[in-house]
Amino acid sequence: MANWCYNTVQFEGCSGAIENIKSIFEILMEQQKNNDEGLMPDFIKLTEGYMFSVDWCEGDGFAMASYDTKWSPNFEVMQEVAKHFKVNYTHAYNELGCGIYGEAYYKDGVLTDIFLEQDDLDLYDVNPEDEDTWVFEGQVYQSDFDILEILLQRRKDGCFYH
């Protein structure tokens, strides 16, 4: 059984391209009603990177797909989408059971992936006094995601605290 990697991809481009991407994801959302197998846009011919639990969200100034993949993010699939529609994107992903947490940026045909390493994940732990909280740098946090975001921001800033 696969570990599920949660993905959110925020697309950036002209409104026509975003509308076309939205249409693709709406088709995938419709297909998943009758299909519990992985999904892929028809124009993509890859054999890995299928999406599950596909959703689309948009608001004032953003358009975003969310979905699950097996084990790891599907960078190649999203790059094919971006190339096809000539857009850029930010791809956030996590599968904490395997220690995967990061954010990738696709801009002008170049993918940059910034992710946490095991040394980063070793910097915090469950609070021994309250197992519903986490301890990081002497502070108590209600959510480990808050800590993960701090650590990821340090990676983005080029600061590595090991």
**CATH number for the domain harbouring residue 35:** 3.30.70.1270
> E-assigned strands of the chain?
4-12, 52-59, 62-70, 88-95, 100-107, 110-115, 124-126, 134-136, 139-141
Whether residue 108 is found in the same domain as residue 139: no
**Domain tally for the chain?**
2
Considering the chain, what is the average pLDDT of its residues? 93
- 153 pLDDT more than 70: yes
Which of 62 and 86 is assigned the larger pLDDT? 86
What pLDDT was estimated at residue 59? 86
Which pTM does this prediction carry?
0.91
Which of 160 and 33 is assigned the larger pLDDT? 33
Whether residue 87 is found in the same domain as residue 108: yes
Provide the residue range defining the domain that includes 147.
117-162
Whether residue 68 is found in the same domain as residue 106: yes
- Average pLDDT of span 75-80: 98
What pLDDT was estimated at residue 161? 55
| Distance separating alpha carbons of residues 143 and 137, to the nearest angstrom | 14
Q: State pLDDT tens for residues 111-141.
A: 999 999 999 999 999 999 999 999 999 999 9
What pLDDT was estimated at residue 62? 87
Whether residue 37 is found in the same domain as residue 99: yes
